[in-house]
Chains A and B, each alone.
Chain A
Amino acid sequence: MLILSCPYCGIDAEETELAPGGEAHLKRFGPGSDDDAFEAYMFARKNPKGVHFERWRHAYGCGKWFLAARCTATLEVFGTYPAQSTEPPVEIVEKIKAKRPEWKGFS
């Protein structure tokens, strides 16, 4: 059972205090988008074995959504950061690169 640190209230919350929200950094495609773009937004998920970025909500807590970078294979957590981020913060990217040299970077 995971522990993730909420960047908004500083609590090291356990999984039962959190609600999962799937893959982070999805770009919304609305009216006017073509079928491929909408399908990708709606259904295509990365599901990697390794470095992954996810949405979590501190549901039994401050109620805020935040994002987490972790390894899906070892469950190592590289960091958490606010939901108001369009891409992972530089310091987290650097940390991942140091720990996972084979990682190809955020895309």
Chain B
Amino acid sequence: MSTRLKSGGRLIDRSAPLDFTFNGKRLRGCAGDTLASALLANDQMLLGRSFKYHRPRGLVASGAEEPNALVNLGQGARLEPNQRTTTTELFDGLEARSQNHWPSLDFDVGVVNNYAARLLPGGFYYKTFIHPRAAWKHFFEPIIRHSAGLGSAPKDRDADRYEQAYAFCDLLIVGGGVAGLQAALVAGRAGARVWLVEQTAHWGGRAPVDGDVVGGMPAADWVEAAVLELSAMDNVTLRLRCMAAGSYDHGYVLLDEKLADHTPGDGRPRHRLWRMRVGKILAATGAIERPLSFAGNDIPGVMLAGAVRDYAVNWAVSPGDRTVVVTNNDDAYRTAIVLKEAGLEVAAVIDARNIANGPLPERARALGIRVETGRAIARVKGGKRVEAVEICQQAGEGAASTTLSCDAVAMSGGWSPVVHLWSHCGGKLIWDESEAMFRPDATRPPLHADGTAMVLCAGAANGALRQAVADADAQVKIALQALGFEAESEEVPAHDVADESALEPVWIMPQGAGIALRSKMWLDFQNDVKVSDVQLAAREGYESVEHTKRYTTLGMATDQGKLSNINGLAVLADSLNAQIPQVGTTTFRPPYTPVPLGALAGEARGEIFQPLRKTPMHDWHQQNGAYFEPVGHWRRPYCFQRPGETPEQAVHREVKNTREALGLLDASTLGKIIVKGPDAGRFLDMLYTGVMSTLPIGKCRYGLMCNEQGFLSDDGVVARIDADTWLCHTTSGGADRIHAWMEDWLQCEWWDWQVFTANVTEQYAQVAVVGPNARKLLESLGGMDVSKEALPFMHWADGTLGGFACRVYRISFSGELSYEIAVPASQGAAFWALLHKAGAAFGAMPYGTEALHVMRAEKGFIMIGDETDGTIIPQDLGLDWAISKKKPDYLGKRGQERSFLANPDRWKLVGFETLDGSVIEDGAYIPEHGVNANNQRRVQGRVTSTYHSPTLGRGIAMGLLRQGPARMGEVVEFTRMDGGVTPARVVDPVFFDKDGEKQNV
């Protein structure tokens, strides 16, 4: 059984017990525990089920590489699935539940998949996707959906908060082991702006566990002194629980800092995502131990040798009473020695090498540990827990000679550098024959903006498995020199570790294992990929490692190759009769370990999910029944609902009231751009299809803007303010875009023209006062002459109304007598209130965007975005009158001259009147007989705007129809969602007041 040892545990505080539950069972750990160490201390070895076969799974590792022990953490609004027990710090009241099993962890129905393993070989998903289709839909998918998958998705809104922050530094050092600390000391002393981040809650990494001696003192003491010195440096920032998730172009790094995972609900953000820009990244990210591939290597109790050592030394937890160590290298002997010295039994060290006589094996022998060389594990016996191992010759086919009873197996296949940050942005690797590992190729680094190396690796991450401090010292000095800092010449602290003799690559144990054994050798514990799966893929022709990865799912998901990568590659290479470097490695992708979606969203949730633009009258709208709609980022009232009204009824009331009495519209969102200068008129003549330079001062003119292809882009009324100043109105959504468009041409094409622009959209609140009583209201306010004579249609004037300084435009988008009045935004709410107060006597009501749309449609006015979609030229909409024939050039003129735009068969704007008065459906098409080349039904037109007209008491519509204007009076049929058709007559798009008498009074 696994249990807490009576003494030891460098990270735990036995005087501070913490209560927690696992699957409802009350358990106890202590401060400093991870959830994994606390579970082990409580003899909870079985922690989950595997993804595909539902085999029992326990802890394999002690850190971020753990593939199995993922749990659902918390519940309700704090439920977080797939949390690694090895990286979860224990806290009082923690609730964990195992996942991927049903109905219970101990008795799991899905385990039948294990017996049906032959049905789920490598490439299973692809094969069943392809044929037969019905089998996938009715058989495989329901079973897999029920039995596969990891944790359960939270259903409640996340109770925690998250944030992001930006940071900048010269040198980001990732990894707080002795390599990272040494690098930070050198860089800090050199005066560089340094960040040192460590993903766990502790500094020092493996060195204190392995008993290294640094600078003449125990590693733990050296680490403490280093942290103390670094803490005193103003130019060094230290962060624990901070994981470098990914490195990206031009020195961009994302870091996930766990602030309150271990103190939930303490008011702090749960995670903080740092968005960092760095001069260089120094990846001192260490190495990860490789499993060995022997049959039954996934049975709970089989763990990495380094992890077994970690549990014993750091948390005083023994994974078993009697452990077998199996290895191809000297390092694993440290585990045997640690266990023996902790008073535990080591059944044997099974060493695949024929000779093991380095200092560590010798020391193990001296402690009385049985060492078996040239031997291998043929198979592990046990179900939910290791019971024994069968021993055989490594060189043989697996005929067992001995059975050793044990309840834990500590395996080591050597170590692989953690090169993720190096590889994320394109750093290349080379194969290191002596250590059987890929390590960074310093001649092919990922590049920064200036073309120099962006990432350097240091210590074990650089392949220096045993001289980490010296390597880090050398690498940081290279980085500092490139950054322009001079490192002080100080002696490199000696890093004393026991000598180790060479490892011997072992990719399958035993070497000649047959299919029965190979199909029980797990390469990827999380994704349930076995040696036999990769071999099958190779036989089926998957030669590319990237294809094999996807076909077998090897190293996918959260593993990202941490444990499975090298062993899988080696097996693939062997199957292809190729060398490992020829097969190459898969691409490591960010994040290194998963980052919560909440952290990626940061502050952008709830009220501030995205910017909402509000006009000065927004509060009034909100208090007066506004039913809002988004227009760009603006929120505009669609209508103002009165009690008992539907939005539709409100719109009808607003239209009728505006046509019969007086309507008030908040038009503040309309874009307003000032264009000024000696060349402003010339510039606007290029920008608009019409002529603006000749517009007299005091007058307004409607204008169209097109892109260079000739397609309509925006429209609005332009007012001539003075000799060299124009004010251009744009659509509500278009102000920023059109302002940028103007600046683009002024800066990049006609930079010698003397023109300045200013976007003053938000400087003004603008109100449209519309309807037969509009003038009466303004006259009652007093202050300026708004008569037909003083202020005719399409004129503007400055003055005051009711004491408010304002500019009044006689323009109309409704066909009614209409004034658009601009006042400073800071006066907008007061002016709006005054209009309502004074307007009550004239029947004033506010109206929203839908009434505006209905009224403009009744008048046949186009709306950018309704009648246009980026493929429509003004000529399609019958707007030839707004295009100057005389001008030699304007933006879009050449585009409009393209032959296909002159085709008489183009769809052109017309009006539609339904025969029965009903409303044509939004988006309806006008089909015709026959099919096109794609066997789709032919169409000859579509509706662009369709409304019920309260004024006319019937449905009206505008739309585009092939040769439309030539087909007046013809009846066409529009599609309906229910499959029927709506017949409608082609008519003039101006439905109301064709002669424009009402607006011109």
Q: Verify whether A and B have any Cβ pair under 8 Å.
A: yes
Contact with A along B869-906 (1 / 0, CB 8 A): 00000000000000000001100011101100000000
Chain A residues with Cβ below 8 Å from B249 are 1-2, 75
Cross-chain contact of A76 among B251, B449, B743, B894 (Cβ < 8 A): B449
Q: How far is the CB of B736 from chain A (nearest CB, A)?
A: 9
- Report yes or no: B251 in contact with A3, Cβ–Cβ below 8 A: yes
Identity of the chain A residue whose Cβ is nearest the Cβ of B686 in the assembled complex:
A30
- Report yes or no: B894 in contact with A21, Cβ–Cβ below 8 A: no
Identity of the chain A residue whose Cβ is nearest the Cβ of B739 in the assembled complex:
A63
- A73→B56 CA distance, assembly (Å): 46
- A57→B897 CA distance, assembly (Å): 30
Q: Which of B25-33, B747-755, B838-846 is near enough to bind chain A?
A: B747-755
Which residues from 124 to 176 on chain B have a C-beta closer than 8 Å to any C-beta of chain A? none
Contact with B along A9-46 (1 / 0, CB 8 A): 00000100001010000001111110100100110000
Identity of the chain A residue whose Cβ is nearest the Cβ of B249 in the assembled complex:
A75
- A84→B89 CA distance, assembly (Å): 58
Tell yes or no: A74 within 8 A of B by CB: yes
- Report yes or no: B897 in contact with A3, Cβ–Cβ below 8 A: no
Tell yes or no: A83 within 8 A of B by CB: yes
Tell yes or no: A59 within 8 A of B by CB: yes
Cross-chain contact of A21 among B250, B744, B898 (Cβ < 8 A): B744
Tell yes or no: A52 within 8 A of B by CB: no
- A12→B858 CA distance, assembly (Å): 52
- Report yes or no: A30 in contact with B751, Cβ–Cβ below 8 A: no
- Report yes or no: B894 in contact with A29, Cβ–Cβ below 8 A: yes
Tell yes or no: A77 within 8 A of B by CB: yes
- Report yes or no: B450 in contact with A31, Cβ–Cβ below 8 A: no
* Given known contacts A76-B451, A77-B450, A83 and B740 CB-to-CB distance under 8 angstroms: no
Tell yes or no: A99 within 8 A of B by CB: yes
Contact with A along B443-473 (1 / 0, CB 8 A): 0000101110000000000000000000000
Chain A residues with Cβ below 8 Å from B449 are 2-3, 75-77
Tell yes or no: B252 within 8 A of A by CB: yes
Chain B residues with Cβ below 8 Å from A74 are 447, 451
Tell yes or no: B709 within 8 A of A by CB: yes
- Report yes or no: B893 in contact with A63, Cβ–Cβ below 8 A: no
Chain A residues with Cβ below 8 Å from B250 are 1-3, 75
Which residues from 729 to 772 on chain B have a C-beta closer than 8 Å to any C-beta of chain A? 740, 743-744, 747-749, 751
- A65→B260 CA distance, assembly (Å): 43
- Report yes or no: A31 in contact with B744, Cβ–Cβ below 8 A: no
Identity of the chain A residue whose Cβ is nearest the Cβ of B252 in the assembled complex:
A1
- Report yes or no: A76 in contact with B450, Cβ–Cβ below 8 A: yes
- Point out which of B249, B743, B747 has the most chain A C-beta atoms below 10 A from its C-beta: B747
Q: Is the interface of B mostly helix, strand, loop or mixed?
A: mixed
Identity of the chain B residue whose Cβ is nearest the Cβ of A37 in the assembled complex:
B894
Q: How far is the CB of A21 from chain B (nearest CB, A)?
A: 7
Tell yes or no: B248 within 8 A of A by CB: yes
Tell yes or no: B277 within 8 A of A by CB: yes
Chain B residues with Cβ below 8 Å from A1 are 248-250, 252
Tell yes or no: B993 within 8 A of A by CB: no
Cross-chain contact of B749 among A19, A28, A64 (Cβ < 8 A): A28
- Report yes or no: B894 in contact with A30, Cβ–Cβ below 8 A: yes
Question: How many residues of chain A get a CB closer than 8 Å to chain B's CBs?
Answer: 30
Cross-chain contact of A31 among B709, B743, B897 (Cβ < 8 A): B897
- A13→B400 CA distance, assembly (Å): 66
- A75→B895 CA distance, assembly (Å): 34
- A49→B289 CA distance, assembly (Å): 39
Contact with B along A44-77 (1 / 0, CB 8 A): 0000000000010101000111000001001111
- Report yes or no: B747 in contact with A83, Cβ–Cβ below 8 A: yes
* Given known contacts A65-B744, A74-B451, A83 and B751 CB-to-CB distance under 8 angstroms: yes
- Report yes or no: A84 in contact with B751, Cβ–Cβ below 8 A: yes
- Report yes or no: B709 in contact with A42, Cβ–Cβ below 8 A: yes
Q: How far is the CB of B484 from chain A (nearest CB, A)?
A: 16
Cross-chain contact of B889 among A3, A31, A83 (Cβ < 8 A): A31
Contact with B along A63-97 (1 / 0, CB 8 A): 11100000100111100000110000000000000
Chain B residues with Cβ below 8 Å from A38 are 894-895, 898
Tell yes or no: B499 within 8 A of A by CB: no
Chain B residues with Cβ below 8 Å from A63 are 743
- Point out which of A21, A32, A75 has the most chain B C-beta atoms below 10 A from its C-beta: A75
- Report yes or no: B748 in contact with A65, Cβ–Cβ below 8 A: yes
Chain A residues with Cβ below 8 Å from B248 are 1
Q: How far is the CB of B889 from chain A (nearest CB, A)?
A: 5
- Report yes or no: A31 in contact with B888, Cβ–Cβ below 8 A: yes
Q: How far is the CB of A93 from chain B (nearest CB, A)?
A: 16
- A84→B751 CA distance, assembly (Å): 7
Chain B residues with Cβ below 8 Å from A64 are 747
Identity of the chain A residue whose Cβ is nearest the Cβ of B891 in the assembled complex:
A30
- A33→B747 CA distance, assembly (Å): 23
Tell yes or no: B708 within 8 A of A by CB: yes
- A33→B749 CA distance, assembly (Å): 17
- A65→B277 CA distance, assembly (Å): 24
Chain B residues with Cβ below 8 Å from A71 are 451
Chain A residues with Cβ below 8 Å from B451 are 71, 74, 76, 99
* Given known contacts A1-B252, A2-B249, A57 and B751 CB-to-CB distance under 8 angstroms: no
- Report yes or no: A42 in contact with B251, Cβ–Cβ below 8 A: no
Identity of the chain A residue whose Cβ is nearest the Cβ of B454 in the assembled complex:
A75
- Report yes or no: A31 in contact with B252, Cβ–Cβ below 8 A: no
- A42→B248 CA distance, assembly (Å): 33
Q: How far is the CB of B857 from chain A (nearest CB, A)?
A: 33
* Given known contacts A30-B894, A75-B449, A76-B450, A3 and B747 CB-to-CB distance under 8 angstroms: no
* Given known contacts A3-B277, A28-B749, A75-B249, A19 and B740 CB-to-CB distance under 8 angstroms: yes
- A88→B573 CA distance, assembly (Å): 49
Beyond the given A3-B251, A64-B747, please list 11 additional residue pairs across the A-B interface where CB-CB is below 8 A: A3-B449, A30-B889, A31-B893, A31-B897, A38-B894, A38-B898, A41-B708, A57-B743, A57-B744, A65-B747, A76-B449
A-B contact list, 8 entries, CB within 8 Å: A19-B740, A31-B897, A59-B740, A64-B747, A74-B447, A75-B250, A76-B447, A83-B747
Lowest 8 CB-CB distances: which A-B pairs, in order? A76-B451, A83-B748, A65-B747, A84-B751, A1-B252, A3-B250, A77-B449, A30-B889
